[in-house]
Each structure stands twice: as structure tokens, then as C-alpha cells.
Chains A and B, each alone.
Chain A
Amino acid sequence: MSAIIRLKNINKTYYNGAPLHVLKGIDMEINKGEFVSIMGASGSGKSTLLNILGILDNYDTGEYCLNDVLIKNLSETRAAYFRNKLIGFIFQSFNLISFKNAMENVALPLYYQKMGRKTRNKLALEYLDKLGLKEWAHHMPNELSGGQKQRVAIARALISKPQIILADEPTGALDSKTSAEVLEVLKKVNKTGMTMIIVTHESGVANQTNKIIRLKDGVIEKIEDNSEHKFSNFSVENIK
């Protein structure tokens, strides 16, 4: 099986004030179509890792290959291109543009692919329909519930048909019922063959994924196979 993501000895230090060595040599491979969760204590470096995977942030040393392309020292323009083509990012805080309605938000990645307005709005409506939000297409983000916002964000992540979906605590701001719904959507998307990596605190969410990567103090503590979905609450060690 071909690895879509290959990390070799990734190190990342923040230099705001006292240097903070956050990622201390991360090695991992994720294959096409995998459904992976990353767990770990607060401050263990989960978001940092995901941001590097999403080319939103850079790393200091090591090698990150995405789709067999070395992602290192890219120009912002090139990084933008890869983000647009290869990556769909889902944020805990949704990150919708407040003055655009749901449809326009979903269509925005296609604007940066130079797609015409009519075509991209039509496509955006299709994706919103898939996520059960057709009626809400012309609503502004502040008129939507948390779950609806996150589904709009998912539609936006999906519309450019990326290679991987990265989600940083996608259910973190949602109640349990809505969380379950959103997770259902993500599972469905994974079923279509989309590689998906979810950072989460919730063992219930992690248990839905097929592989759990445990991060501790900037290193991978262990990688568990969870294809049986037998993850039990007893092994929760991230709640401190």
C-alpha cells in the first residue's frame, strides 16, 4: 500500500519567548484511505502536528512527504496551491467567513481554482445537499447551529476533492448528539476512500477511527490498531 503521508523525524520548536520543543522527532506513515485519530494530552503537540500536515505551519527538521512530494521550505504561493489541491482542513472553530453565506463559503476553494461563479455555486449546492443543508445554503454562518456550521466546513473541505482531510477537534465545540452526526458524516466520507486524520480528545470519537496515534510530550507514544473498534474508556489517559 502506498503511504500518502510520510513523516521522518519531524521536529518543531516554538521560539516565542523561551524556546519550546513541541515535536521531538515524529515518524509515521499514513496510507491512502486510512481513518486515523490522534490523541494525547493537552499541549502534547497534536494541533502542531496537524498544522504541519496541513501545510499551515512549517517544521524545523525532518522530512514530510505528501503524495510523494517533499513539503519543505515551500513558497507561500506553492503552499497555497497544495492546500487547495491536496488538503481539506476542518477546524474546531469552523473558520467560516462570517460575511459569506453557506454556499459562498463552500464554493470559496473553487474560486481559488479559478472556477466560474455559476459552476462553483452549483457544485457547492450539491455538496450542501449531500450534507443535508440544502435549505440553509443562503444563510449566513451566524444563522446556523454549531453542527450545521461544521457540516458547511466539511462541505468546504470536500469540494476541492482533496487527497486528505485533516480535522482538528471537529466535534470539540459541539454537543454529543451533534458530534455523533458530524462523525457519521466524516465516516461516510472516509468510506468513499478519502484519507482522514482527526485530532480529538474524545475516546468515543477516536474509537470510530481505524487507527489511533497517541502523542505524549511531542513523541509518538504508541500507535494502536483500532480496526475492531474495541477501544475502551479504561485506556483513556489523556484526561489530566
Chain B
Amino acid sequence: MPTAPALSVALRGIARRFADAHGGERLVLRDVDLTVGAGEIVALLGASGSGKSTLLRLIAGLDAADDGLVLLGGTAAAEVDQRCAVAFQEPRLLPWRTITRNVQLGLPRGTGRGPGRERVSELLRLVGLGAAAALRPRQVSGGMAQRASLARALARGPGILLLDEPFGALDALTRLTMHDLLLDIHAAEPATIVLVTHDVDEALALADHIVVLGKEPDREGATIRAVLPVSAPRPRDHSDPDLARLRAELLELLGVLIPSHPSTAKETT
């Protein structure tokens, strides 16, 4: 199965405004500068509404920045850039198609019937949906739908894989299995992966770099607050003191109070 070579992603001075309810404009993202090396895994962390999905859509060319530049492999991103494959925050499965036929939608154009079918059933097996292949989306659970959506993005074999909270609806155990799966696939077909998550431990388990998106005090619009490298070799051990330090740092960046009184701790994500 030919897969595209991994491509770098570069964001240069990205800003995005949206119309607000009162006919004015609201700055959602500003001054976003980021470089993701080809084949890297980057986790994007940030509070709800900080613009993570928006940033992913900008990279995919599904949305256009008001300012700044998106470069994929050194060239500007096209409108709906086909070098990217997106797994959206919602599963977005076509309700009248079986899970298999939904995943088939992800195959690159020009994939032969035989190899296509093989790849789809292999991916379905990998994400644990082998037995659900013939079901319609309405007949599967939220987490199963999410895994189908992941399989669809993986089917593309893209240079850049954009995953918006791909494991959000999964139980802890399935989530760990999917982490291993993603790392295995990445080892076999090294795409550049940008992965949005709310889960600090997930970011620590998967990412080469963790990007924290958030607002600076008294300034409108979210921007990149920190880019933290995670250098520990995989598989990673959560008790690793380096990771523990990173974890504390991330939680603080996300506005989680590291408490002297644990009862006052407050999640803001």
C-alpha cells in the first residue's frame, strides 16, 4: 500500500477572526507560529474553545486564515489540501453506509478494488471493528463510530494526519490500545501527526512535542503558550520523573491549580 511521505507543517503568524453575535468580530487565534518536523507527532492541548479545532481546519485548508501562512512540506496549503487527512471531532459517518463503506471513503483515489478492500478490513481489524464492519453508524456506539472515523483517516495514508480528539469517546482501556495502534502505524507509515487532546497523559504518551494553546491575560485571542519537547523513549513510563515534571508544568499552563489543598483543584479544560 503506497502511503505519502511525511510532510512538515509550518504555521507563520496565523490569525483567525470570526463574526460574533453582535455583528462585530472576535479574534480566536493570533500570532500562531509553529513548525512541526516531517514525521513528528505533535499534541495540541488547550482549554475548550481555545481554537484547537480551528487550527486543525486551517492546516487542512478547510478554513482560511485572516493573517499568516500555512506551509505543508514547504509549499502553501491549498484549499482543502489533499496532503492532509482529517479525523474530525465528530465521527461524521454517512448514516446510509455501512462502517466498511464509510472507511472506504478514506482510501486515496485510484486505489484498486482488491488492495482497497484489504486495507479497509485490515484497518477495521486494527481499530477493533472487525465484527462491526457491516453495521450502519446508527447501530454502533459513540466510541465505535469514533474509531471508524480514525480508520477512515488512516486509510488515506496521508503525509499529514490531523486528529481532533480521536480518542475522546473511548474508555480508558480501549484508549490505551488505540495509543499503541497509532504508534505502531506511525512506525510503519511515518506520517506527520497533529493530534488535539484534552488529556495531558495522552499527550505525554504519544507526542514528540506538546503545544499548549491558550490566552494570555488581558489579550484577546489564543496563541501558543508553550512548546514542550518530550524526549523520553517509547513506550513511556508514567512514573518517569521527567514526565512527572512535564505533567505538572502542563497542568499549570492549562490553568489547573497545583494545590496545597487538593480540594481546591479546578479543571478548566
Do these two chains interact?
Answer: no
Residues of A participating in the B interface, judged by any CB pair closer than 8 Å: none
